[in-house]
Copies of this chain bind each other. A is one copy, B any other.
Amino acid sequence: MKISELSRRTGVPVASIKYFLRQGLLPAGRATSATISEYGDEHAQRLRLIKALTTLGGLSIAATRDVLGAVDQADTSEGALGAVSYALPVPVAAQGGAGPEEDDGATPAAAAEVAELLTALDWQAPGTSPHVQGLTTALRELRRLDAQYGPGELAAYARLAEGVARLDLERAAVLEDPVALAERAVIVFAICAPVFELLRRLAQEDQVRRRLTGDGAGGAAPRS
């Protein structure tokens, strides 16, 4: 198909397609003349993934290039899942308080908290994982705010997070083709994250309302 048809089919403007071509996000088409190229279904699929990453996932062009490169190098579905997971930006941990250069004891305490958690849950993640590092930073800043988690609190959250991750994987891993699966994983990992956060906020709202009206049925007491 010509670039105009590619634009029509994907809803991405021609100028944007040309920009993605120049930025190396989209492979060049097959040149049929000096000014005309032919594009295939693989271009349309790649464009939908670029659109999902940049528009819905909110990724920069550089971050999008990283994700696409990781997906291209993955030769299995699990590899593609892992690549997307590592390439997506780590959620912004709490920032501020004392600078990281100040050794106030919060850094080793937070690192120990993360290590203990991983051991207790038997979660496999190396110290180089961006998620381990992000969690360590977040817990360090909470300690500096004197708002650290109490004994068992972090593990209680982690057990619920494990349940959410299990649902995520079930939603993402239904496809065999690594590229199609990567597109799905981007949607589930990056775009559905706010959905869970909204559900959490809705549940908070419900529980605050019940406290206000004195209706404890769904408040502090577990209902499930």
Establish whether residues B125 and A153, one from each chain, have CB atoms under 8 Å apart when the complex forms: no
A195 beta carbon closer than 8 Å to chain B = yes
A85 beta carbon closer than 8 Å to chain B = yes
Least CB distance, A146 to chain B, in whole angstroms:
9
Least CB distance, A189 to chain B, in whole angstroms:
7
Interface of A, helix, strand, loop or mixed by DSSP:
helix
Chain B residue at minimum C-beta to C-beta distance from A172: B204
Least CB distance, A60 to chain B, in whole angstroms:
15
Interface residues of A in 124-152 (CB under 8 A from B): 124-125, 129, 131-132, 134-135, 138-139, 141-142, 145, 147, 149
Interface mask (A4-42 → B, CB under 8 Å = 1, otherwise 0): 000000000000000000000000000000000000000
The 8 closest A-B pairs by CB, nearest first: A165-B203, A55-B96, A161-B199, A91-B197, A91-B194, A123-B206, A161-B200, A135-B198
A-B contact list, 12 entries, CB within 8 Å: A81-B208, A86-B205, A91-B194, A125-B205, A125-B206, A135-B199, A145-B187, A160-B163, A164-B203, A166-B220, A169-B220, A170-B220
A residues sitting closer than 8 Å to B (CB atoms) are 51-52, 55-56, 58, 76, 78-79, 81-82, 85-86, 90-97, 118, 121-125, 129, 131-132, 134-135, 138-139, 141-142, 145, 147, 149, 153-154, 156-171, 173, 184, 187-189, 191-212, 217-218, 220, 222-224
